[in-house]
Structure formats: structure tokens, C-alpha cells
Amino acid sequence: MGHAMDALDAGGSTGEPEGSRTGGPEGSTGRGERAVGPPRVRLFAAQVLRGQAQVTFLPNAVTGLLFSAALFAAGWEYGIYGLLGTAVGTATARLLGVDHERVSTGLEGFNACLTALCFAVFLGAEQVSTALLAVAGCVVVTVVTAAVVRLLGVWGLPSLTLPYCLLATAVTIAAPGFGRLWHTGQGPAALPLPASGTTAVEPAELARGFLAGFAQIFFMPQWYVGALLLLGLLVAGPRTAAVACLGNAVGVATAWGLGAPAARIADGTMGYNAVLVALALCGVFLPARAATLTYALVGAAAATALGPAVSALFAPSGGHAFTWPFVLTTFVFLAGAKSFPRLTGSGDGD
């Protein structure tokens, strides 16, 4: 997500989890991976799969394949939208001559993947208008990504999922105003309401919510989708999976401690931003060490608390939180980390 190459483009840290960027025993970028088909087709397919894996900062084609399988498990239409979106974004970047390293590591595919899935979930995957809009959106988000990378590079910050958040927010707010895009009747705009419902979480709900926290990164609520995504993270590296699990656990614990409704915890919506923040701040943009892990988990808790605030802010206009809590929290914590040498690795060790 704006990820390792963005860190370089922006002058940030190059510390990354196992499997990010250059590969190795646990995280090949696809160089030397055996595949069938013409070389150009294999190359493009690997770029697309890495683009899906880059949703969690991992340019690993095998991880991307498992992520794609998870989306197909949620519904064949979501698997198609995920692959189509990533392919369109990647192809657009190639046609526009984007830096080869960004394209080959999947950095030009993940925002498009999320954009296409967002449209499928909120506008109706079965609608022809949604499919056409998804293709157009994936082209546009590639342009937005280039602009965001350029602008944020001035402050040494990565783009993350900001391009997708900007486009998804604009489209979902505007969609009810267009009859050929909006097919569900009543608009989504509503005044924010206080939390309601029991806060007591049963163990089975807690387990489902933990796995669903991974699935909600891709808008999916099913626990088994989350299990496949967690497997993809484990393939990329056990440290990566461990950081993601800790971030998820902190998100769930924070939500429970603050009194979030059990239903919100069980459907995974209180955990996914925490997963992304933890991964970003421990091993991707900051070196993986005890200090940054603690820092990342504090960030995960902050993102969880920020989630309802963002939802309440967008609710009156019909918008959604998407990954805004992750983006905003990560920006703040990365900017702050520049003042803490023990986090960036430029000062004394732990």
C-alpha cells in the first residue's frame, strides 16, 4: 500500500517484514517463480498477484494467489472484481510508463483492487454499470496514485490507500445522485447514532471476529475468508503474520474495552484498520524491533478508536470509513517517528 517503494520514493525507512520487496525463502517477488504460459503473460499475472498481496504490503505472488482464492471463497463475483481491478490498474500504469520497479512489485495494483471491490460491494456486483464504473475507477485511481505519491513525497510519507479512499469516498457519496449507478432505492445518508446492543462477546463470536478482521480489509465479513488471508500472510513470513495477529488482537481488545457493540466486534469491522497499522509501523516503514512493535500496537489501538469517529463524520453524506482510520493514524505515527531515533533506527538501539 504505497508501500516499500513509496518509502524509498518519499525518503522514508526501508525496513520491511519478511516477504516485502526483494523476496527470499519466505517472500519471493516472483523472480524465478515457475509458471506456465508465454513469458509476458506470466510476468503480467505475477504483477497482478503481487498487486493483490500489496494490500498488506507484500509483493509476494503466492500470497496474492491465496488472497485471490479468499475473494473467490467469498463469492465468485468478488474474486473477478479483485483480479479485474488489479489487472486494470497494473495495465494502466504500464501503458503510462510508470517506473518498472513499482509495477513489478505490485504497487500500482492494490489501490485499484480495493477500488473495484468497493464498487462491487456498495453498488452491486451484478450490475453492468458497476462493472463499467469499476474499470473506469481503476484507471482513474492510477492517476490519483501518481499525484498522491508526488505530493506526499514532499513530506516523506507514503501514499498507502489514500488514493483508493479519496476515489471510493467521492463515488459512494455521489452514486445515489445517478439513477444508473444506484440500484438500492433509499440513499445511505443517515445521522450517526450512539452505539447500541450488548457489549458481551461470546468466545465463538470473538474467534469469528478475529478472523473476520482480516477479511474486512477486503470488505468481506466471513471468518473463513479471513482464515485464507491469514494463511497468505503466514506464507509471506511468520513475523508478518504475528504482527498482523497482534494488531488485530489489540484492535479487538480496544473495541471491547471501549464498549463497542458485540456485533461490531464479531463482524470484524473493529479489527481491520488495526491490522494494517500494525503491519505498516512494524517492519515496513519502520524497522522491525521491540520498540516499533510497541509503537505499532499503540497505533493499532488509536486507529480502532478513530474508526467510529470517521464513520460518524461521513454518515450524514452517505460515506463510509473505508481505510481512512488506517491512513490517518499511519500518517501521524510515521510523521511523529521522525522525532524518535530509536524507532527509525538512526539512534541508539533498544
Residues with Cβ within 8 Å of residue 28, at least 6 apart in sequence:
19, 60, 61, 62
Q: Is 219 left (phi over 0), alpha (psi -120 to 50) or beta?
A: left
- 17 occurs within a structural domain: yes
- 90 occurs within a structural domain: yes
Q: Give residue 182's identity as a one-letter amino acid code.
A: W
Q: Which of 185, 236, 268, 231 is nearest to 25 (CA)?
A: 236
- 195 occurs within a structural domain: yes
The predicted model scores a pTM of 0.88
Residues with Cβ within 8 Å of residue 77, at least 6 apart in sequence:
120, 125, 126
- 349 occurs within a structural domain: no
Q: For 19, what's the count of Cα atoms within 13 Å in the CB-facing half-sphere?
A: 26
- In whole angstroms, give the CA distance from residue 318 to residue 320: 7
Q: Which of 269, 270, 267, 261 is nearest to 198 (CA)?
A: 261
- In whole angstroms, give the CA distance from residue 188 to residue 29: 41
Burial class (CB in 10 A: 0-12, 13-18, 19+), 280: buried
pLDDT at 193: 65
Question: Whole domain around residue 251: which residue ranges?
Answer: 4-344
- Running along the chain, 350 residues long, what does each successive block of 10 average in pLDDT? 49 40 37 57 95 96 97 97 97 96 96 97 94 97 97 95 96 88 73 70 91 97 97 96 98 94 92 97 96 97 95 82 97 96 71
What string of H, E and C letters represents the secondary structure of the chain? CCCHHHHHHCCCCCCCCCCCCCCCCCCCCCCCCCCCCCHHHHHHHHHHHHHHHHHHCCCCHHHHHHHHHHHHHHCHHHHHHHHHHHHHHHHHHHHCCCCHHHHHCCCCCHHHHHHHHHHHHHHCCCCHHHHHHHHHHHHHHHHHHHHHHHHHHHHCCCCCCHHHHHHHHHHHHHHHHCCCCCCCCCCCCCCCCCCCCCCCCCHHHHHHHHHHHHHHHHCCCCHHHHHHHHHHHHHHCHHHHHHHHHHHHHHHHHHHHHCCCHHHHHCCCCCHHHHHHHHHHHHHCCCCCHHHHHHHHHHHHHHHHHHHHHHHHHHHHCCCCCCHHHHHHHHHHHHHHCCCHHHHCCCCCC
* Tally of structural domains, the chain: 1
The C-alpha cell that represents 340 in the structure block: 524518535
- 33 occurs within a structural domain: yes
CATH of the domain at 110: 1.10.3430.10
- 18 occurs within a structural domain: yes
- 105 occurs within a structural domain: yes
Neighbours of 22 (CB within 10 A): 13
- 236 occurs within a structural domain: yes
